[in-house]
Amino acid sequence: MTSSMTNDLIYLEKEQHIAWLTLNRPDRKNALNITMWQTIPSLVQEAENDPNIHILILRSAVENIFCAGADISEFNRFINDREARDQNRLAIRNACLALEKFSKPSLAMIAGACVGGGCILALCCDIRFGDTASRYGITPSKLGLVYGLSDTRRLMDQVGPAATKDILFSGRIIDADKALRVGLINDIFPPQKLKQETLRYAEILLNNSAFSLREIKKIIARVQTGVRDDDNLSEDIFMDAFDGQDHKKGVDLFLNKDKN
């Protein structure tokens, strides 16, 4: 395993084919400051560039806390300094785009509170697993702020317009069962089994074609941006996949297994 120094507020660890993007600010319950947002793109790019990394998992190093949200102690500066406010906006936007556009599958492993900026990051991942004690909230309406369009789109892609309005209008904290029901997360597990089950799912993906997962992710992203029917690009992807080594290997394995 390779890792950054453990006193970094956010760092990347690599273990076999998995990159762990880890929030590590225990004194502030992982509240995301501008430095953390600004660090995320380079860490994601490091995982992107490593051919040995096939999956990224977002997690917390802090027990029972995923992320308390944005660092509100910075907000007084944003009130009085529009340039700093804009730097923060860009830092959040760039971090979210980097994680959302990561070409390989990404998972969020959520233990405990996942609020505000924590939800923003989790929604940028492809799959979200929480523990039964996890809870979720997006609270700009309590602070007189407005959730951005891109972040609102990410939320609405998962839970639909009715639940999006409920979550954003009320700013209330919802429990894991409710988050699972509305589609905010994909599954929940007992706290002591969250990592084990997340890794079990990661292993399923690692046993599938990395090419297929990457191209599926591209197709889903296109559908989410409004493409509704096959076009030359999607048809080329479909046709060309038959020439790929992953397909040939998969067919050979299936046929040999069938003979046995």
d(CA 173, CA 178): 10
Query: What are the pLDDT digits (tens) for 83-107?
Result: 999 999 999 999 999 999 999 999 9
Average pLDDT over residues 48-74: 96
The H or E element that residue 91 is part of is helix 82-100
Burial class (CB in 10 A: 0-12, 13-18, 19+), 179: buried
d(CA 90, CA 116): 17
pLDDT averaged over the chain?
92
Do 123 and 167 form a contact (C-beta atoms < 8 A)?
no
Burial class (CB in 10 A: 0-12, 13-18, 19+), 6: exposed
Which residue in this structure is represented by tokens 């809870």? 135
For residue 122, pLDDT over 90 is answered with yes
Average pLDDT over residues 187-195: 98
Average pLDDT over residues 127-145: 96
Average pLDDT over residues 201-224: 95
Average pLDDT over residues 13-34: 97
Structure confidence at residue 2 (pLDDT): 41
d(CA 246, CA 50): 19
Average pLDDT over residues 240-245: 77
Instruction: Give the whole-number percent of the chain exceeding pLDDT 90.
Output: 81
Buried b (16+ CB within 10 A) or exposed e, 239-257: eeeeeeeeeeeeeeeeeee
Instruction: Give the whole-number percent of the chain exceeding pLDDT 70.
Output: 94
For residue 3, pLDDT over 70 is answered with no
Burial class (CB in 10 A: 0-12, 13-18, 19+), 140: middle
Go through the domains of the chain in sequence order and give each one's CATH number.
2-206 (3.90.226.10), 210-259 (1.10.12)
